[in-house]
Amino acid sequence: MLSITDLKDFIDLDHETVQIVHESTHLSESQAVNLAEELLKSERGVYTLHQMFRDQIAAAAEHHQLSREQELRKAYAYFSRKYPMPRMF
């Protein structure tokens, strides 16, 4: 049986992306892994993940959580390099 960590490694997900999905949707970690995997399969899904990151960054800024905001910005920079924002028309 695979653990959540094994599953994330297998599908090339980083912890921060799964955490963003988990916090945005309030799904369990295993459900967040599955949803993140599905979202990465389409341009619309990648766009949705970008929005989830941006929403979480904005919420941290709004609540004056500077260290959380900085962590999220760093994670988002990594995510953006790996999965650039798709052109949505």
Q: Is the pLDDT of residue 4 over 80?
A: no
Token digits of residue 49: 């993940």
The residue that leads in pLDDT, 87 or 64, is 64
Radius of gyration of the chain, Cα coordinates, nearest whole angstrom: 13
pTM of the model: 0.84
User: Any idea what DSSP says for residue 3?
Assistant: -
| Domain boundaries of the chain, sorted by first residue | 4-82
Tens digits of residue pLDDT in 66-81: 999 999 999 999 999 9
Cα distances (angstroms) measured from residue 63 to each of 51, 58, 60, 66: 18, 9, 5, 9
Token digits of residue 16: 């921060």
What does the pLDDT average to over 36-43?
Answer: 95
